[in-house]
Amino acid sequence: MRHSTMEPLFENRYDAGHKLAEKLLSYADKSVIVLGIPNGGAAVALSVALGLNAELDLIISRKIPLPLSPEGGFGSVTDDGTIILNEEIVKNAGLTRQQINYQVSQVRLDIRHRSLLYHGDRRPLAISGRTVIIVDDGLASGYTMRAAIESLRHRKAEKIVAAVPVGPENIITEVRQIADSVVTCAVGKERIFYLSDYYRSWHDIPDAEVLHCLKEWRMRRYRPEIEIPEKKPRNI
């Protein structure tokens, strides 16, 4: 659903990834890893990884939903167990430790399911000592990106680049304080920011499309003559 009459900057997430890759060309053909945050970030990350001739994998960072109000969140959890809480929201919502622990445990169950689905028996890429580009389809609260950055600090990444097509100015400023670098195509300056307004085609990305992105990258990595389509059939 669009909330603005402005002309969208991106046709879809794949187009956003192409444009974002152009901002990251200094990392092309170097030993970098692109990590997409699923679900939406996987599509953007695919185009970035192909544009940079880089390795591609996922880092699962999920919002911790508020009890009785799942659209809202009070932090994020990653696939290695890193937790980032928005202490202001926790305080304002009056959340107890028991409520926090329960919500976190539910998110961890979801992450374990997704990790098995996305990775199967494949070992994750080695991060230590590498430059890592974390890609999402945009920033909202910034907590999924912040948790991903914290996770990679624990895993001893040498340099962490947060790369998104767009995000609100204040959140980008906050992320700059914890990442080594932040790269965007645009900065939202609206009083109320809606990520979907920047995309002509915006929909929830299903798990099947995440798996397709990983398969597409493997095919292109080893069969580079195959062209990646600008748009996918149906809702891809």
pLDDT of 101-154, one tens digit each?
999 999 999 999 999 999 988 888 889 999 999 999 999 999 999 999 999 999
160 within 8 A of 152, measured Cβ to Cβ = yes
- The CATH number given to whatever domain includes residue 40 is 3.40.50.2020
Per-residue confidence (pLDDT) for residue 199, from 0 to 100: 97
Contact, 156 vs 129, CB < 8 A?
yes
In a domain, 114, yes or no: no
Which segments in the chain show pLDDT lower than 50?
226, 228-236
- The reported pLDDT for the residue numbered 123 is 82
User: What is the tally of structural domains in the chain?
Assistant: 1
Assess if residue 41 is contained within a domain. Answer: yes
Inter-residue contact 171 to 142 (CB < 8 Å):
yes
Question: What per-residue confidence (pLDDT) applies to 233?
Answer: 38
Is residue 178, in this structure, part of any structural domain at all?
yes
**pLDDT score recorded for residue 236:** 40
Query: Taking CA 218 as the corner, what is the angle to CA 145 and CA 162, rounded to the nearest 5 degrees?
Result: 20
Rg (CA), the chain: 17
pLDDT of residue 80: 93
Residue-level pLDDT at 234 = 41
Half-sphere exposure of 102 (CA within 13 A, CB side): 8
Closest CA relative to residue 111, chosen from 155, 81, 150, 151: 81
Q: Is residue 32 part of a domain?
A: yes
Spell out the residues 6+ positions from residue 230 whose beta carbon is closer than 8 angstroms to its own: 11, 14, 15
Which residue matches tokens 């107890």? 96
The reply to whether the predicted model has a pTM over 0.85 is yes
Its domain, for residue 180, covers 13-61+127-222
